[in-house]
Amino acid sequence: MEQRTYNQYCATARTLDLVGERWTLLLIRELLTGPKRFGDLQTSLRGLGTGLLAARLKHLEREGLAHKITLPPPARTPAYALTEAGEELGPAILELARWGLKWAMGAPRETEIFHPGWAVLGLRACFEPEAAAGLRAVYEFRIDDEIFHARIDDGTVEALHGPAQHPDATVTIGTEAFLGLTGQGLTWAEAIETGAASASGDGEALRRLGGLFRLPPPRARTADGAGEQAAARASS
């Protein structure tokens, strides 16, 4: 498959030459949360055929953005992981996610699927460093069959797939209730109070959970809204 190019000597164009093809950034999104086996990627990226997935992975390998590894015991199976260059795309993808939460989400469409594992990157995108000042705690999240955790260390966050070894707090919630957190403005406290979610563990860690991850207020992408904002800036 011939690689398309913008033929522009420009850093933005060169980057898009590498990651601008359909599915490529979503593959990098998946690998940002840790190495994945081919089957794991197929499960998370439904709609991406086996042949195209293999081609995209070969492209990432060829361009030095991903490489093959063997997972440690007990798995000992082949997987794909990002290289240093691939990892450094993380901040750009998080900024795309933050922009999307503000300007592109809205309610789920009937044809759209949701994979709870995508919330791992969502935790990073919604993290509020100021609210985590002085906090050191590990949160384990269970959304149906998916388990992941977030390690908070005084204003920083590390979110990864899989259970935590020694979580300070554990939160269990179903997929539909979790979507209520992201799309309907439901807070963690409200979800726990109403029974939509359950929580256990350290009281202080649970008390501070509500301020750690916050969605930006949604905005409408309308010409009228843009005009109003421009007018406001001009008059200020």
* Full residue range of the structural domain in which residue 180 is found: 116-212
CATH number at residue 136: 3.30.1050.10
What pLDDT digit, counting tens, does each position of 65-87 carry?
999 999 988 888 999 999 999 99
What pLDDT digit, counting tens, does each position of 34-58 carry?
999 999 999 999 889 999 999 999 9
Q: Tell me whether residue 189 is in a domain.
A: yes
User: How high is the pLDDT of residue 227?
Assistant: 47
Q: Tell me whether residue 192 is in a domain.
A: yes
User: How high is the pLDDT of residue 171?
Assistant: 95
Q: Tell me whether residue 106 is in a domain.
A: no
User: How high is the pLDDT of residue 152?
Assistant: 97
Q: Tell me whether residue 30 is in a domain.
A: yes
Number of domains in the chain: 2
**Do 206 and 132 share a structural domain?**
yes
Q: Tell me whether residue 227 is in a domain.
A: no
pTM for the full predicted model: 0.84
Domain finish residue from 36, 71, 88: 88
H/E/C letters for each residue in the chain?
CCCCCCCCCCHHHHHHHHHCCCCHHHHHHHHCCCCECHHHHHHHCCCCCHHHHHHHHHHHHHCCCEEEEECCCCCCCEEEEECHHHHCCHHHHHHHHHHHHHHCCCCCCCCCCCCHHHHHHHHHHHECHHHHCCCEEEEEEEECCEEEEEEEECCCEEEEECCCCCCCEEEEECHHHHHHHHHCCCCHHHHHHCCCEEEEECHHHHHHHHHHECCCCCCCCCHHHHHHHHHHHHHC
What pLDDT digit, counting tens, does each position of 153-185 carry?
999 999 999 999 999 999 999 998 888 887 666
Using pLDDT thresholds of 50, 70 and 90, give the confidence band for residue 133. very high
CATH number at residue 35: 1.10.10.10
User: How high is the pLDDT of residue 192?
Assistant: 87
**Do 207 and 133 share a structural domain?**
yes
**Do 199 and 125 share a structural domain?**
yes
